[in-house]
Copies of this chain bind each other. A is one copy, B any other.
Amino acid sequence: MTAAPEEPLPPAPRNIALVLEYDGSRYCGWEKQKNGLGIEQVLEDAIARITGERPVINGSGRTDAGVHALGQVASFTLMHRMPAADLGRALDAVLPEDVAVLEAREVGLFFHARFSARSKTYRYTLLTGRAKAPLMRARSHHLRGPLDREAMRRAARLFVGRHDFSAFCHEAERIGDCRRTMHAVELIEDGRFLQVELSADGFLYNMVRIIVGSLVYVGQGKLDEATIARLLEGGERKFSGPTVPARGLHLVRVLYEVGGTG
């Protein structure tokens, strides 16, 4: 018996991960929308322009309209053979000036920007004091009155650990499991700015903005620590603080397991 003539293997798809920075000001958010441009769409168009392919793009999470990213992660599969680093540079060059590709690499086929993520870090920038900050106006939220920083720091610590964040997410998401593990909530003084940096294994819809709004309420004496502690056992959204504006919010980084990219 002789072997049948071997046909060449069909080309295998590759899985590509990108690290993106963007200014969310003119976008309706990460996701494509009927009325408004999504960053996902802009990225898809750039990939099509470079490779001729239109893969499904997975983001590590959907950032809202006006939210910025210093290290959003996106992944997609591609038949095109261009080396990942070259693809990254080509995409950075054709993307509009408010979206950048900081890094591009080939990852294992089971890597998924959203489902493989283990930890995410967001930063919210509050401008304190009376004067405006023209050079940071698209990236900060201005609070003119006094803030009790110590009360805010004490309240921030309450969020750390595994909690039911039902009271700290948009009503739309309360039907699911609202338990998440918060790794850290840090308040960082930065000149006229107060940065709130939060890391968790995952975030619910509007969760960072409602937690920051609640910390601001604590700083203004409108909410107390005991109430925060009770709300973290699965309270109602109407008792927590306001949703602060999107423009102060930055997705800073997303972490994956080493070796977990396969």
Interface positions of A (Cβ within 8 A of B): 21-23, 68, 70, 88-89, 92, 95, 97-103, 130-135, 137, 139
Contacts and interface: CB of A to CB of B under 8 A. Distances in A.
A101 B131 contact: yes
Nearest to A192: B102
Contacts of A134: 21-23, 97-100
A95 B139 CA distance: 19
State the oligomeric state as a number of copies: 2
B130 A97 contact: no
A137 B103 CA distance: 18
Which interface residue of A99, A132, A134 has the most chain B CB atoms within 10 A? A134
A5 to B, nearest CB: 45
A115 B95 CA distance: 47
Given A98-B137, A137-B98, A132 B92 contact: yes
A72 B253 CA distance: 35
Given A21-B132, A21-B134, A23-B135, 9 more contacts: A21-B133, A22-B135, A23-B134, A89-B131, A92-B132, A98-B137, A100-B131, A100-B134, A102-B131
Contacts of A98: 134, 137
The 6 A-B pairs with the shortest beta carbon distances in the complex, nearest first, are: A100-B132, A23-B134, A98-B134, A102-B131, A100-B131, A100-B134
7 contacts: A21-B134, A22-B134, A23-B135, A88-B131, A98-B134, A99-B134, A103-B131
A139 B138 CA distance: 13
A99 to B, nearest CB: 6
A99 B97 CA distance: 24
Nearest to A96: B134
Nearest to A138: B135
A79 to B, nearest CB: 25
